[in-house]
Structure 1
Amino acid sequence: MLLELKNIKTNYGNIRALKGISLNVDQGEIVCLIGANGAGKSTTLMTISGVLTPIEGDVLYQGRSIVDDTPDKIVQAGISQVPEGRMIFPLLTVKENLEMGAYLRKDKAEVQKDLERVYGLFPILKQRLKQQGGTLSGGEQQMLAIGRALMGRPKLLILDEPSLGLAPIVVGAIFEIIKTIAERGTTILLVEQNAQLALEFSDRGYVLETGLITLADSSQALSQNEEVRKAYLGE
């Protein structure tokens, strides 16, 4: 098991955002987390990444507790997150943004190889290397944010709302790339507002409601679940 959350309770400000959730992600999987706004999805991801510290419970990565690790140590261990809203550096060039994703690494030759791999996944970024990140389209910025995360050479890639604010045709292209990243050996934990898309591209899923996991099953089973269809698939 690559990642395991055990009875995690986390506050977001003065609010108990997570009320005791447990989930796991196995090596090679794409696992999705779906739920309404305010359900606690982003809080879950921030707890994994070390931005928030749980008041109870444990986060195990490769069998080791990481709840007391700083975010940079968690990145070094092999977990990279693409945050909601992309959060690229708007005044840095595309190349500088990508290099920031490798700022903890010392293996310069391997960093260069990873840059070439990112260019292979996102050819448009290679054409925009000297362009400021803030001048890219929304879809290109999302590609840049994913590329930057991949520069950390993660074993686990966490994606927070990758389709947010993007045109459907761009979303489709990005999810095909996410699928390719998974096929090349990177495990993925995905939070996505488009539940139908999330279930289509993932192996398993969890439904989060007001800080609690209410359903957990294969993505195929969840997509056929009557409650899920009514609440999240618009039926």
Structure 2
Amino acid sequence: MRHGILALFLLLLRLEAAWAGVDDLKRPVYRVHPALEVEAELPRVWESPYMPSDVLPARMLEHFRSYLLDSAQVELAPPEEADLTLRLSIHRFDLVRSDKLGTNERLLVSGRISVEGKGGRLWWKPIAVREARQSLLHRDDLKTPLVWGEFRRSLAWHALREMVFRSVEELLSGFQITGRLAAKLPEEGVFLLNLGRSHALEEGDVLEVLEPVKVKTEDAESPVAVLPRVKGKVRVLEVFEGQSRAKLEEGEASVGDPVRKKVKLRRF
């Protein structure tokens, strides 16, 4: 429920501009600050046998930041300048090993993700990753001391990296690229979008066409709420710097309708 409220809040911020007829939607859209908290007892990992400092938290935060930087919808900012703080907290790391007939490993990593605004936490959600691996040969990936070059091939690092990916994927699921249908072109069912290459749009992208729906509420201060409803979909045919051509694929669409594309995170 909290997650849905955040996604709607972020979307309405963007659609307010689209419904008002703004021709140029700028990006990056949100200034965010990534924060990592580790409460679980994780393996201590050295950079090398000659550098005994623990580098694992820094490597995890590096992955966190890299995934965010790969998204066209955000830019990183210091906490005092950020619109939102995206926080990943890890509070459980349970590894079970058996060395009979090779090595069997089962690992559970769990914690929670949260989004925090200037006034406090907007929502939070638990998250967990379970991984298992079986090898006919005896493995000792977590031997002491742990060195980064060896640890990065372990089940533990695979699970922690997956934890970071799923967390960022979930955190960014409420972020949208939004614009509007700016004009009807001569071709049948083809529109001009006020989004283009500068908004991270690509040929083949499918955007939802929206329309505002008014809903009566029992809130005395806000008796009417305006919510988006999907009325159709358009596929991008050709992309220019700040505009693109898109063809109606299903449903209906009219000039001036807002459109949105959900942010999709790439795995690396």
TM-score, with normalisation over the residues of structure 2?
0.24
Decide which structure has greater strand share. 2
More helix by share: 1
Q: Which has the higher contact order (CA 8 A, sep 6+)?
A: 1
Q: Which has the larger radius of gyration?
A: 2
